[in-house]
Structure 1
Amino acid sequence: MHERNAALIQRDLNVLWHPCTQMKDHEQIPLLPVEQGRGAWLKDLEGRWYLDAVSSWWVNLFGHCNPQINARIKEQVDQLEHVILAGCSHEPAVELAERLVSITPQGLTRCFYTDNGSSAVEVALKMSHHYWRNIGKPHKTKYISLANSYHGETLGALAVGDVALFKSTYEPLLMESITVPGPDSFHRDEGVSWAEHAEQMFVHMEAALENHAEECAAVIVEPLLQCAGGMRMYHPRYLELLREACDRHGVHLIADEIATGFGRTGTMFACEQANISPDFICLSKGLTGGYLPLAAVLMGEDIYAAFYDDFTKLTAFLHSHSYTGNPIACAAALATLDIFANDDVIGQNRQTAELMAEAAQPLIDHPHVGEVRQVGMVLAAEMVKDKAHMTPFPWQERRGLHIFRHALERGVLMRPLGHTVYWMPPYVISPDEVALLGEVAAEGIDKATRNP
């Protein structure tokens, strides 16, 4: 390892505790020290560049150090860095709320800011319960969510998630939620389409709503794409059925579009593909183009009205974060929305998505790839031990780690989820760079699936 990289790594390991990491792994797996970013690339301290195939945890849309976003942030820094949003206001927060209301699904008229995706989910969960309490139904305290779902790491968000790796340790601390089998198309029977499978699996949600509607505040889902659950995907038909059923049973629908929003799934928001409007939509990650922490929850006027009363009625939503509506983060978000407004981002993404599909074509026939699936700018290949029976490799073998290490050797930051290799690159990725992802993934899967 080069001297400058090694020196920073040692300093890091002396003081830092990294997220989502067993720190003992770094006795064998070196950290990647990053000094600079440009476009879809990251540079280490010794000058080597790495293609960012995961958009730095799914947040970066328009490349690292994007000149347009940079300029907007620099301009804002000289005007106002931060001010309390309780009792104060500022132009970036107001303009961003106006623009989010204008681009999100119809009927979402109010914007509540928070700091990150997990906190946005907490807001939606609390606000849904509080709404029902304010209108005289305090018994609606339960939430329904899908198997294999993930909604964040804070306790409320963990409670409505279903990825055991993150949740099981903290189970004693969590509220009880209702989990139903989901429409994940990986599990469909042979010859059954994604849409048919979604309809077949909806019977479980319908039954849960019939049995629990009186005590249920909301259903929360990741529309079309369960990211942390292994990039599992499903058909928009499920969302159509869910919206109708939530209306019929008097239950809120929370759309967690933290990872799926802002063009990732082929439309600005995944809900658009089902032509539905949720009661709450949670946004973060790509909201600032990958620059700064910011999240927003949007909801309709009926929900806002249930909290609007004299102070002595004690109906106000008393939830806050110190950096709520931070002006610099709002400026980054406004610059991000400007790029969407001025460029044909969605159209360009569709062309790039086709290139991604072409690059992944050789993986389809690999003897240890059970499925190659894609929705918009997200593509995943799931490694299996036995393709005929879709038998997974034992998780303890950590075969995805072989791909991660091989990719770094080839100059690509590719971070599999267990045995699922995926690409979620910045939208500025070039055709040659997409081809590189295909080459590296194929090589990595070959290495990772050889018998130990």
Structure 2
Amino acid sequence: MTQAQDDLMQRSLACIWHPCTQMKDHEWLPMVPIASAEGVWLTDTSGKRYLDGISSWWTNILGHRHPVIMARIKQQLDTLDHVIFAGFTHEPAVQLAEKLCELTQLDRCFFADNGSAAVEVALKMSAHYWRNVGQPAKTGFIALTNSYHGETLGALAVGDNALYREAYAPMLMQPRFVTSPDCFERAPGTSWEDHSRRAFAHMEMALEQHAATTAAVIVEPLVQCAGGMRMYHPVYLTMLREACNRHGVHLIVDEIATGFGRTGMLWASDWAKVDRESAEPIRGDFMCLSKGLTGGTMALAAVMTTNTVYQAFYDDYASYKAFLHSHSYTGNPIACAAALATLDVLASENWMARNREVGHLMWMRMSELLSHPHVAEVRQQGMILAVEMMKNPSRRTPYPASERRGLRVYQHGLDKGVLLRPLGNVVYLMPPYVIESKEVELMTRTAIDGIHLATRD
């Protein structure tokens, strides 16, 4: 480590409280000072490169500093940086909303700043809708166990991850949590589809009993990302859409991490069809978008919804039906320009086919871990691949969290020039879509070797 690197790290530690971090760790765990980025690569201040195997918290879907996105941001800077979005509008926001309506097959776009804010908007909008149509008792929410939807209070409340939630429990509303269809928990010999179908009985019961007081069900489609990349079959979403219709409850689809092609379809919910005879994908009453929306370059989120919801708020001002929710940077022109460029790049070639090819290559490389004595499961959905390390897989005995086995993989990755950031004992790969085969080889080999090292007693 150079003196300049050490100085930068010490300055950072002296004034910055870093996210999702026990800062005391940095008494012995060095930070990585990054100076630049290009494609799938990050470069630190000494010139060492790191392959970004997690797309910088799942945002950088097209690689760092994609030339099309960079050019559009610079162009936008020359004309309009920002303007209040109440009572004003501008071309980048209108174009983006039009494209998102077309791509999601929903009717209205409400802009926010980040994923957690998008979830807050959807929760508030759903409950407020029911009030506006004369059903004020519908204020509750149903969510899945092991779910995660963000860390602002409303988003945190509908998540079921004690690591994030427990300290703030007295401040949170109390949704109903229904057993997740997570297929890691399936019985031996049971298919993913059969397990997810059986798991739906819990949701059906909750809706039968509580529909009168429930505004919406909120789910992460197919992959519970922060919950350890646990996955389930799309038939669950098909059944959920039908049940929400039948019981008169909104469906909020949180595509923040899974959207924009990450699962091999543009939206994860595209894998679920309206019914077995139809090619039409299900749609939520609300769809939350962020992360990949700007290709990982700018903070922006959007909540997509229907004209039915919109019309419930459309009235004279004195009715108090307006949705009085705002963010200072709502519809920021620079962020909208970045998002428009991202969508243009995604439309420029068949990225979904390419992602499925890269996903297959990732699986072929990682499949040697299927017989590893301390690997309970290797699972995949598109460009998301996860490996669950366990002390005793046959008995489902986990490694104690205090042993921090995942941290060992992280440290090995940095040593070999690969950024891996496991979720506890789950090592996952979620690289930018532009990754090449030789880079997949480096990433997967590093992950495999790191898992071998981490599971040695």
- TM-score normalised by the chain length of structure 2: 0.98
CA distance in 2, matches of 1:111, 1:39: 30
Q: CA deviation at 1:4?
A: 2.2
Superposed counterparts of 1:76-95, under 5 Å: 76-95=76-95
Code of the aligned partner of 1:229: G
Tell me the residue number matched to 2:379: 373
1:402 alignment partner, one of 404, 408, 414: 408
Instruction: Report Cα offsets for 1:385-435 as digits up to 9, x if no partner.
Output: 002112111111111000000100000010000000000000011101111
Q: Secondary structure at the match of 1:118?
A: helix
Matched, 1:241 2:223: no
1:195 alignment partner, one of 184, 193, 196: 193
Tell me the residue number matched to 2:59: 59
Q: Percent identity?
A: 60
CA distance in 1, matches of 2:286, 2:439: 37
Matched, 1:151 2:157: no
Instruction: Report Cα offsets for 1:148-179 as digits up to 9, x if no partner.
Output: 00000000001100000000000000011100
Matched, 1:319 2:317: no
Number of residue pairs matched by the alignment: 449
Tell me the residue number matched to 1:6: 6
Instruction: Report Cα offsets for 1:50-87 as digits up to 9, x if no partner.
Output: 00000000000111111110000000000100000000
Q: Secondary structure at the match of 1:290?
A: coil
2:130 alignment partner, one of 129, 132, 150: 132
Instruction: Report Cα offsets for 1:321-351 as digits up to 9, x if no partner.
Output: 0000000000000000001111111111111
CA distance in 2, matches of 1:95, 1:4: 44
Tell me the residue number matched to 2:44: 44
Q: Secondary structure at the match of 1:364?
A: helix
CA distance in 1, matches of 2:4, 2:431: 28
Code of the aligned partner of 2:373: P
Once the two structures are overlaid, the 10-residue window that deviates more, 41-50 or 353-362, is 353-362
Tell me the residue number matched to 2:111: 113
Code of the aligned partner of 2:355: N
Superposed counterparts of 1:28-427, under 5 Å: 28-104=28-104, 106=105, 108-274=106-272, 275-427=281-433
CA distance in 2, matches of 1:317, 1:232: 35
Answer yes or no: is the 8 Å Cα contact 1:400–1:448 preserved in 2: yes
- TM-score normalised by the chain length of structure 1: 0.99
Code of the aligned partner of 2:386: A
Code of the aligned partner of 1:61: I
CA distance in 2, matches of 1:205, 1:14: 48
Q: Secondary structure at the match of 1:253?
A: strand
Q: Secondary structure at the match of 2:134?
A: coil
Answer yes or no: is the 8 Å Cα contact 1:359–1:437 preserved in 2: no
Q: Secondary structure at the match of 1:21?
A: coil
Instruction: Report Cα offsets for 1:185-213 as digits up to 9, x if no partner.
Output: 00000110110000010000000001100
Answer yes or no: is the 8 Å Cα contact 1:5–1:46 preserved in 2: yes
Answer yes or no: is the 8 Å Cα contact 1:378–1:423 preserved in 2: yes
Code of the aligned partner of 1:401: L
Code of the aligned partner of 1:119: A
Answer yes or no: is the 8 Å Cα contact 1:151–1:157 preserved in 2: yes
Instruction: Report Cα offsets for 1:270-290 as digits up to 9, x if no partner.
Output: 111002011000000000000
CA distance in 1, matches of 2:437, 2:360: 10
Q: Secondary structure at the match of 2:388?
A: strand
Q: Secondary structure at the match of 1:323?
A: coil
Matched, 1:21 2:21: yes
Q: Secondary structure at the match of 1:139?
A: coil
Once the two structures are overlaid, the 10-residue window that deviates more, 376-385 or 433-442, is 433-442
Gaps of 5+ in 2: 273-280
Code of the aligned partner of 1:100: L
Q: CA deviation at 1:445?
A: 0.8
Code of the aligned partner of 2:223: L
Code of the aligned partner of 1:446: H
CA distance in 2, matches of 1:361, 1:149: 27
Instruction: Report Cα offsets for 1:101-150 as digits up to 9, x if no partner.
Output: 0011x3x1000000000000000000000000000000001000000000
Answer yes or no: is the 8 Å Cα contact 1:403–1:441 preserved in 2: yes
Answer yes or no: is the 8 Å Cα contact 1:122–1:157 preserved in 2: yes
CA distance in 2, matches of 1:4, 1:137: 62
CA distance in 1, matches of 2:139, 2:112: 22
CA distance in 1, matches of 2:254, 2:118: 9
Q: Secondary structure at the match of 2:394?
A: coil
Answer yes or no: is the 8 Å Cα contact 1:254–1:281 preserved in 2: yes
**RMSD value, Cα:** 0.6
CA distance in 2, matches of 1:354, 1:79: 43
CA distance in 1, matches of 2:444, 2:310: 47
CA distance in 1, matches of 2:201, 2:31: 46
Q: CA deviation at 1:3?
A: 2.1
CA distance in 1, matches of 2:448, 2:81: 46
User: Any runs of at least 4 consecutive aligned residues in structure 1 with deviations exceeding 4 A, and if so which?
Assistant: none
CA distance in 2, matches of 1:3, 1:416: 29
Q: Secondary structure at the match of 1:95?
A: helix
Q: CA deviation at 1:2?
A: 2.1
